[in-house]
Amino acid sequence: MTARARPLEVRQLSRPRRLKWSHVEGYFFVAPFFVGFVLFTLGPFIASLALSFTSWSLFGAPEFVGLDNYQQILTNDPKFATSILVTLYFMAGHIPLSMALAFVVALLLNQKVRGMPLFRTLYYLPAVTASVATAILWAWLFDPTFGLINEGLAIIGIKGPNWLGVTTWAMPAFIIMSLWSIGEMMVIYLAALQGVPQSLYEAAAIDGAGRWSRVWHITIPMMTPAIFLTLILQIIGSFQVFTSAFILTNGGPGDATLFYVLYLYEAAFQNFRMGYASALAWILFMIIMAFTLFQVWLSRRWVYYEGEQR
């Protein structure tokens, strides 16, 4: 009986599987995402790569120029070097200050006091405020004549500078303004803090460790995955600063706030050099990729995961 049953089993296994209606429904549900991805992400991604090898002014047919755009950017474009230096300057001030401030705020918001949900909402609210409205608000705050910042400095006898009007103070003003939106990092750090096992703090307290010792030896090591995540996000975000610079200074004064993406926009939509701007975009992609891969490689030395064997 067993020998007779085997051919039947083989015949049953060899039959083609029929497409179930539930599978068809699934394809219908995911189809809008795939269509949108192809039309608005993958398609422009490939098109920009092709355009980066052309000279195109948005009118007429693109003209193939090979690597001329990349060669000109890397060897004969002083504004490219300026935009890189401006962006790196912003990163050097924005990333450590914003991460440190978000960490301190998360520590404070992790306490068990009355009204904590309200405080957490207030600190997170600037992160979801429209960037245009935020830029206009800070333009008023930085106004050299009647801005609240200079008015506050005048109370203690300090004459406030022309924040956005001189090259010396323009970038510090942008760094200060960037600290306004630490809410996203704060939420990530707060979630990481609540995931630290309380047993570790109790064991450290029994051994006589003080508050700062527990923060340094327990809290920070356990939060390194969250710190690593926010570091990557802040590096990527620093290379994408556009709205505030476009509204407040438009790259001035004297190219002191000519961020990379602002220069890319200028090349594409003011000078109508779409092929050149596409090459700038792909160089930006390579720079961000290099920074990210370097941080991933470096993370092996300082990022610790619970239960990981080292």
* Neighbouring residues of 93: CB distance < 8 A, sequence distance ≥ 6: 171, 172, 175
Which domains does the chain possess? Answer: 76-302 (1.10.3720.10)
Query: What are the pLDDT digits (tens) for 184-208?
Result: 999 999 999 998 888 888 898 888 8
Q: In Å, what is the CA distance from 233 to each residue of 99, 172, 239, 289?
A: 11, 21, 10, 12
**Which amino acid, one-letter code, is at 191?**
A
Q: Tell me the three state secondary structure of residue 54.
A: strand
Token digits for 20?
A: 């179930």
Q: Which residues of the chain have pLDDT under 70?
A: 1-22, 306-310
Contact indicator for 271, 72 with CB cutoff of 8 Å: no
Q: How many CB atoms lie within 10 A of CB 91?
A: 18
Residue 209 has a pLDDT of: 85
Could you list the beta-strand ranges (E) of the chain. 54-55, 63-64
